[in-house]
Structure 1
Amino acid sequence: MMTLDLLRIHPGAFAVMMGIVGLLFGSFLNVVIYRLPVMVQRELRRDARDVLDLELEIQPRFNLAVPNSRCPCCDRAIRPWENLPVLSWLALRGRCSGCQAKISVRYPLIELATGLLSFITAWHFGYGPQCLFALVMVWGGIALFMIDIDTMLLPDCIVLPGIWLGMVSAYFSIFSSLDNALIGACVGYLAFAIPACVFSLITGRSGMGAGDFKLLALFGAWLGWQALPIIVLLSAVSGAIIGLITVRRGGEPYPFGPFIIVAGFLAMFYGHEIYAMCSHSTGVAIGAKFFD
């Protein structure tokens, strides 16, 4: 009990502690980011073979816990002391202790990003349930951000439970009321789904994946419908800028989910300030009743 009281009294200590927890959780997120898409693809292949009445493939067990982490080059098992966030990578100088193959710098960077964002979240919201739910959103968002960049997939096994968890947080009025969350989830989905359907009917091509619809619905469920204008505007503008750059460099397709996630984080942390800034610059009190 005394420890909890100290965390309330000393927000800096609480933020540092959550930063350390974030570092540790970032190591787990590296596993999720690599393994979850493989698990999804295996499940899709299994379902397809079942529908086509083909013989099922016998594959070794593969999930977030099994098999143990190994070097992809020499298949050497990674020992526990070689799996410490950031420190192990530095101690090993970014190389496998067995075959000396390079270990990607993205692993410690994801751990550092998770730790830093966890620290910022704890410092911003302070000790309490709002910080706990915000950390869950941040950690899930990091996983979705990287998975979408790697595979252009937004797995339902993260997004759909995230929507329901947003409803739970709204039931307790953590970030929004339940009414606003329900409207936010519905409007968030339709805000991208309707234009995408119209685009598909006109051009015969798909301009956006359904995962993006669900992702915006997730943020609508967590933050309420009031946050959607910020998220849509910021993600659309930043996505358009990157789109223009990629068109000039050959027009390679790129995922839109990361733009929604970054915009959603900004809305969660600085929604009040962004609306106040817009109100001041336009002379219209557009944010007066938002984020109640």
Structure 2
Amino acid sequence: MDIAIILAVVFGLLIGSFLNVVIYRIPLILENMWNREAKLQLGMEVGEEPIFNLMVPPSRCGNCGSPVRPWQNVPIISWLILRGKCHTCKTPISIRYPLVELLTSVLFGVMAWQYGATIITVGACLFTAFVVALTFIDADTQLLPDQLTLPLIWLGLLFNLITGFIPLEQSVIGAVVGYMSLWTLFHVFKLLTGKEGMGYGDFKMLSAIGAWLGASILPIVVFAAALVGIIAFYAKRLSQGQPMAFGPCLAVAGWFVFLFYSSAGQALTWWLTKSGF
């Protein structure tokens, strides 16, 4: 097996472990911030609160409060050794923790298989880490936090500036078109129905994908995301009008288009040629 793939798989396990922290804590950080701002707006007294961020406090069991020791935090292996339970109180630990680690590891490995030992793989894995975190956060809370979407946009521009994966001007145009296309669709839908069909986080998510992959590929991303959304809608048996997060659909579509970027570009060119454009 290629050394690049092995390194990507191992590194993916470690990043996946950190992504579990990101997925769990960022919504709580936002909630704490919003509660604080609401109290200030209402003129309520706001006391000094304990520090809570991605690093502090150390991870603890949500039930008994016992700290997670280093040996209990080894990706996948610790969960298996502990049999999916807290070492102290035996409260079940969600299987999603090792699944996120495994998923991230596999996705990193696949990107390394596709792009080899190149800087493109480094960027592709960085993109993967962000979209994994955004997927699970949006699925849980229907939020796509600016703390992740905005850096993803800037990183996409920087990635193309450094690597030339696509021309920088296409990256900039992709970021603008990605945002404005969904922004326009949102307001047209709201004007016609009086309802909001998606959130502003979705605009930024597609903007980020455009920054990484360019404007020309966005039609394929949106089409693929719509297909994923339709499949998810029927798989989850959602009733009409029941909200469904669109961010995961964009994330899945964007990741696969990144993986098969050349093939996606060729498919789009073929379709445009057949359509007479």
SS of equivalent residue, structure 1 residue 268: helix
Which residue matches 1:129? 119
SS of equivalent residue, structure 2 residue 103: helix
Q: Quick one: which amino acid aligns to residue 161 of structure 2? A: Y
Which residue matches 1:273? 263
Which residue matches 1:88? 78
Q: Quick one: which amino acid aligns to residue 76 of structure 2? A: V
Contact 1:169 1:222 in 2 (8 A): yes
- How far residue 60 of structure 1 moved from its aligned partner, in angstroms, is 1.9
- Map Cα deviations across residues 93-117 of structure 1 (whole Å, 9 max, x no partner): 1111111111110000000001111
Q: How does 1:127-276 map to 2 (within 5 A)?
A: 127-243=117-233, 249=239, 251-276=241-266
In 2, Cα distance between equivalents of 1:110 and 1:245:
21
SS of equivalent residue, structure 2 residue 260: helix
- How far residue 159 of structure 1 moved from its aligned partner, in angstroms, is 0.7
- Cα gap change, 1:97/1:268 in structure 2, threshold over 3 Å: closer, same or farther? same
Q: Quick one: which amino acid aligns to residue 273 of structure 2? A: V
- Map Cα deviations across residues 205-244 of structure 1 (whole Å, 9 max, x no partner): 2110000000000000111112201101111122134335
- Map Cα deviations across residues 222-272 of structure 1 (whole Å, 9 max, x no partner): 111122011011111221343356566465311000000010011111132
Contact 2:220 2:268 in 1 (8 A): no
- Map Cα deviations across residues 40-65 of structure 1 (whole Å, 9 max, x no partner): 11112222222333221443211111
Q: 1:27 aligns with which of 1, 10, 17?
A: 17
In 2, Cα distance between equivalents of 1:35 and 1:250:
31
Q: Quick one: which amino acid aligns to residue 219 of structure 1? A: I
Contact 1:130 1:174 in 2 (8 A): no
Q: Quick one: which amino acid aligns to residue 238 of structure 1? A: V
**Structure 2: 5+ residue runs without aligned partners?**
none
Q: Structure 1 length as normaliser, TM-score? A: 0.88
**Structure 1: 5+ residue runs without aligned partners?**
1-10, 287-292
- How far residue 277 of structure 1 moved from its aligned partner, in angstroms, is 4.7
In 1, Cα distance between equivalents of 2:145 and 2:6:
31
Q: Quick one: which amino acid aligns to residue 156 of structure 1? A: D
Q: 1:45 aligns with which of 35, 57, 60?
A: 35
The 10-residue stretch of structure 1 (246-255 or 126-135) with the greater mean CA deviation from structure 2: 246-255
Which residue matches 1:117? 107
- Percent same amino acid at aligned positions? 41
Between the two proteins, the alignment pairs up a number of residues equal to: 275
Segments ≥4 residues shifted beyond 6 Å: none
Q: Quick one: which amino acid aligns to residue 213 of structure 2? A: L
In 2, Cα distance between equivalents of 1:102 and 1:96:
6
In 1, Cα distance between equivalents of 2:143 and 2:260:
27
Q: Quick one: which amino acid aligns to residue 284 of structure 1? A: T
SS of equivalent residue, structure 2 residue 273: coil
Q: Structure 2 length as normaliser, TM-score? A: 0.93
Which residue matches 1:78? 68
Q: 1:106 aligns with which of 88, 91, 96?
A: 96
Q: Quick one: which amino acid aligns to residue 253 of structure 2? A: A
